[in-house]
Amino acid sequence: MSTQTRFEQYIEHLAVGLGHADRHSGLKAYCTGLMLPLTRKSVEPMAASVDPLHASARHQALHHFVAKADWSDDELLSRVSQWVVPRMDFSGGGFWIVDDTGFPKKGRHSVGVARQYCGVLGKQDNCQIAVSVSLACEQASIPVAWQLYVPREWAEDNERREKAGIPAQIGFETKVQIALRQIEALLAAGAPRHCVLADAGYGIDNAFRQHLDDLGLSYVVGITSALVVWPPGVKPLPPKPYGGMGRPPVVPRRTRARQPVNVKDLAHSLPATAFTTLSWREGSNETLSGRFAAVRVRHAGGNTGKARLRPEQWLLIEWPASDADPLKYYLSNLPADTALEQLVAHAHMRWRIERDYQDLKQELGLGHYEGRGWRGFHHHAALAIAAYGFLFSERLATGTPVSAKKNFAARHTPAVPDDYIARGSPARTAPHG
């Protein structure tokens, strides 16, 4: 079966979730455009490449399909998962990877744009941020949930909400709250309880870790060096005896000799023999390896929640021998008999989400949408993930890189006419008399 035939079958599978049959051609054209070797994958250049003889009409049709048509981006992502997940190999375990990504933006009218930290730029600037959950195995990963983060200034501005078409049920939520709701929705739909991976932006939040515990999910999450823990062998004193009045004391007691420490100080207190050099995967040029130590600790900063004295967890420390301080810290509720090699492998599985975002942005135009509304932003992202899902499944089926399949659609679209002028281009120079 040819690649084009499999693509036709894939589009038919996705189209079932779009509702009206007249949206099917828009789905095929948009996904095809996203896979073409175009410099800019916004609606107009894709329309001109997919249907150059009727570029203007196709542009209007695709714009309506992505920005106006009332179809569910969540349903489309669900159908992408239905196609891709059976082709993934979970014999080595599965993972849920929580992350967010930024899209630099000018102006203030695009939905959700605000001055906030943008990881792409590495600084505070105008941008949009979307939170996602990806499903991963040892061989690959795919985003399965996606939502724009709405800053408080947007959530509480009814005029801006109305212009951007933000749904009434979407209020202000932190990125952590969005991610937890996405995970809950996946579990409610019958998704398996895989281990959750996240960077320190999520892992440092005690409520995030506690909620994962409450959901019965294991996790390996990044934390910062400032997190305070009870070191191995040190346990706080029980709460003060109940005096018979008011609520019984629940907060563990500390003494001058019995104090928690931050994880950086704990790492520096460990002997050199506590660290082991391990490799976790083959990189493009060499085997990736590092120096690690893992100890059992209790988080000491969380006097909220159901348990005042936190259970023991793994603190994983990554410390290159040439560095003065540790490079990264992770906290995990994996069982006490978990091997160091497994902790390291789980912690570094999170790199797959970085690869997802890189391919989605560089190869499939994830950040190229030029509309301002909520619906268009989410529709475009879902379609980019849909195009990625097909290339992803082709790679799993054939063992070839995504880039080797990316431009197959170019062989099935006519060339752009020489006299075509893109909308917004300078007009042709008028001849002189």
For the segment 163-175, what is each residue's pLDDT rounded down to a tens digit?
999 999 999 999 9
> Is residue 418's pLDDT more than 60?
no
> Is residue 432's pLDDT more than 80?
no
Band of pLDDT at residue 242, cut at 50, 70 and 90: confident
- For residue 226 the two structure tokens come to 């400032």
Band of pLDDT at residue 41, cut at 50, 70 and 90: very high
pLDDT at residue 408, rounded to an integer: 53
pLDDT at residue 126, rounded to an integer: 94
Mean pLDDT of 329-356: 95
As a whole-number percent, the residues of the chain with pLDDT over 90 amount to 70
> Is residue 412's pLDDT more than 70?
no
> Is residue 75's pLDDT more than 90?
yes
Instruction: Please state the separation of Cα 328 from the chain's center in Å.
Output: 20
Mean pLDDT of 252-259: 76
pLDDT at residue 262, rounded to an integer: 93
> Is residue 374's pLDDT more than 80?
yes
pLDDT at residue 390, rounded to an integer: 94
Band of pLDDT at residue 108, cut at 50, 70 and 90: confident
pLDDT at residue 175, rounded to an integer: 97
> Is residue 378's pLDDT more than 50?
yes
> Is residue 312's pLDDT more than 50?
yes
> Is residue 48's pLDDT more than 50?
yes
Mean pLDDT of 96-101: 97
pLDDT at residue 307, rounded to an integer: 42
Mean pLDDT of 55-73: 95
Distance between start and end Cα atoms, the chain:
59
Highest mean pLDDT among 14-18, 45-49, 174-178: 174-178
Question: Which is more confidently placed, 339 or 300?
Answer: 339
pLDDT at residue 105, rounded to an integer: 92
Band of pLDDT at residue 419, cut at 50, 70 and 90: low
Tell me, letter by letter, the H, E, C secondary structure of the chain: CCHHHHHHHHHHHHHHHHCCHHHHHHHHHHHHHHHCCCCCCCHHHHHHHHCHHHHHHHHHHHHHHHHCCCCCHHHHHHHHHHHHHHHCCCCCCCEEEEEEEEEECCCCCCCCCEEEEECCCCEEEEEEEEEEEEEECCCCEEEEEEEECCCHHHHCCHHHHHHHCCCCCCCCCCHHHHHHHHHHHHHHCCCCCCEEEECHHHHCCHHHHHHHHHCCCCEEEEECCCCEEECCCCCCECCCCCCCCCCCCCCCECCCCCCCEEHHHHHHHCCHHHCEEEEEEECCCCEEEEEEEEEEEEECCCCCCCCCCCCEEEEEEECCCCCCCCCEEEEECCCCCCCHHHHHHHHHHHHHHHHHHHHHHHCCCCCCCCCCCHHHHHHHHHHHHHHHHHHHHHHHHHCCCHHHHCCHHHHHCCCCCCCCCCCCCCCCCCCCC
pLDDT at residue 29, rounded to an integer: 95
> Is residue 346's pLDDT more than 60?
yes
Band of pLDDT at residue 253, cut at 50, 70 and 90: confident
As a whole-number percent, the residues of the chain with pLDDT over 70 amount to 89
> Is residue 404's pLDDT more than 60?
no
Mean of per-residue pLDDT scores for the chain = 88
> Is residue 245's pLDDT more than 90?
no
Which range is least confidently modeled, 63-72, 138-147, 156-165, 305-314?
Answer: 305-314
Mean pLDDT of 399-415: 51
> Is residue 411's pLDDT more than 70?
no
238, 251 Cβ separation under 8 angstroms: no
Mean pLDDT of 201-219: 95
pLDDT at residue 426, rounded to an integer: 47
Mean pLDDT of 199-223: 96
